A = this chain, B = another copy of it.
Amino acid sequence: MHRPNTPPAFAPKTPRFGTMPLYISAPTAVELVQRKGLKNCIAGIAEKIRSDFLRWHDFDKSARVANHSKNGVIELMPISDDAAYSFKYVNGHPNNTAIGLSTVMAFGVLADVATGAPTLVSELTLTTALRTAATSALAAQTLARANSRVMALIGNGAQSEFQALAFQHLVGIDTVRVFDLDPLATAKLVANLSGSGLQLQVCASAAQAVQGADIVTTVTADKAYATILTPDMLAPGMHINAVGGDCPGKTELAAGVLHAAQVFVEFAPQTRIEGDIQQMPGDFAVTELWEVLSGAKPGRQNEAQITVFDSVGFALEDFSALRFMHDAALACGLGERLALIPQMVDPKNLFGTLLNAEATAVPREVQAAGV
Nearest Cβ distance between residue A358 and chain B, in whole angstroms?
11
A352 to B129, CA, bound (A): 13
Q: How far is the CA of A89 from the CA of B33 in the complex (A)?
A: 28
Residue with the highest number of chain B CB atoms closer than 10 Å, among A78, A93, A346, A351: A351
Contact of A116 among B74, B161, B342 (CB under 8 A): B74
Q: When the two chains form their complex, are residues B71 and A347 in contact, meaning their CB atoms are under 8 A apart?
A: no
A349 touches B192 (CB 8 A): yes
Contacts of A185 in B (CB 8 A): 348
Q: Which of A149-187 contact B (CB under 8 A)?
A: 157-162, 185
Copies in the complex: 2
Interface string of A80-102 (1 = CB under 8 A from B): 10100101010111001101111
Known: A336-B1, A355-B192. A97 touches B347 (CB 8 A): yes
Binding-face segment, A8-16, A44-52, A233-241: A8-16
**The stretch of A61-69, A208-216, A289-297 that contacts the partner chain:** A61-69
Q: Which residues of B contact A79 (CB under 8 A)?
A: 67
- Given A2-B1, A105-B116, A340-B107, A192 and B74 contact (CB-CB distance below 8 Å): no
- Distance in angstroms between the alpha carbons of A34 and B358 in the assembled complex: 13
- Whole-angstrom distance between the Cβ of A126 and the nearest chain B Cβ: 6
| A125 partner, pick from B38, B68, B342, beta carbons under 8 A | B342
Given contacts A2-B2, A99-B13, A101-B14, A188 and B348 within 8 Å (CB-CB) = yes
Complex formed: what's the CA distance from A113 to B87 in Å? 19
**Quick check: B351 and A101 within 8 Å, CB to CB?**
no
Cβ-based interface call for A25 (8 A): yes
Residues A364 and B30 in contact, CB atoms below 8 Å apart: no
Query: In angstroms, how far is the closest chain B Cβ from the Cβ of A281?
Result: 28
Binary interface encoding of chain A residues 190-203 relative to chain B, with 1 for a CB under 8 A from any of its CBs, else 0:
00100000000000
Residue A114 at the chain B interface, CB threshold 8 Å? yes
| Residue A27 lies at the interface, judged by CB distance under 8 Å to chain B | yes
With beta carbons under 8 angstroms apart, the residue of B158, B342, B351 that contacts A348 is B158
Q: Tell whether A353 is near chain B: CB-to-CB under 8 Å.
A: yes
Which residues of B sit under 8 angstroms from A344, Cβ to Cβ? 102
A72 within 8 A of B: yes
List the B side residues contacting A352 at CB < 8 Å: 188, 192
Whether the Cβ atoms of B97 and A348 lie closer than 8 Å is: yes
Given the complex, which residues of B lie within 8 Å of A91, measured CB to CB?
111, 115-117
Q: How far is the CA of A228 from the CA of B103 in the complex (A)?
A: 51
**Residues A96 and B350 in contact in the complex (CB < 8 Å), given A89-B118, A101-B18:** no
Q: A26 — which chain B residues lie within 8 A by C-beta?
A: 339-343, 353
Could you tell me which A residues sit within 8 Å of B by CB distance?
1-2, 11-14, 18-19, 23, 25-28, 30-31, 33-34, 38, 60, 62-63, 65, 67-74, 76, 78-80, 82, 85, 87, 89, 91-93, 96-97, 99-103, 105, 107, 109, 111, 113-118, 121, 123, 125-126, 129, 157-162, 185, 188, 192, 336, 338-344, 346-355, 357, 360-362, 364
With A19-B105, A121-B121 already in contact, 9 other A-B pairs whose C-beta atoms are closer than 8 Å? A13-B99, A26-B342, A76-B78, A96-B116, A105-B116, A107-B340, A125-B341, A161-B351, A185-B348
Which 5 A-B pairs rank lowest in CB-CB distance, beginning with the nearest? A91-B116, A13-B100, A161-B351, A11-B100, A158-B350
